[in-house]
Amino acid sequence: MDEVADQVIEVVGLNNVDKMYKPLLHSVGWLGDVKRIALKIDKIKQLGFKPGLRSCDTVRISAQKYLKS
């Protein structure tokens, strides 16, 4: 969970950020949060797909593009 926040904090250029986690539902997550996700890309890989970016890289690029807009 920290990895996504850390990417955005770094791109935005913030320092000394206190991250707070406030569970809302059954002591985990927040309203609308996906508790667990596991995607399988085996079938699309068989068709030749190769992921170009890791999730954390995608978050960083998205934050950078958001700042430029």
pLDDT digits (tens, 9 = 90+) for 29-55: 666 777 777 789 999 999 999 989 988
Provide the mean pLDDT of the chain: 84
Other CB atoms closer than 10 Å to residue 29's CB: what's the count? 16
Domains of the chain from N-terminus onward: 2-68 (3.90.25.10)
Give the Å distances, CA to CA, from 14 to 5, 20, 41. 11, 15, 35
- Burial zone of 11 (CB within 10 Å; 0-12 exposed, 13-18 middle, 19+ buried): middle
Q: What is the pTM of this model?
A: 0.57
- Spatial contact of 35 and 29, defined as CB atoms under 8 Å apart: yes
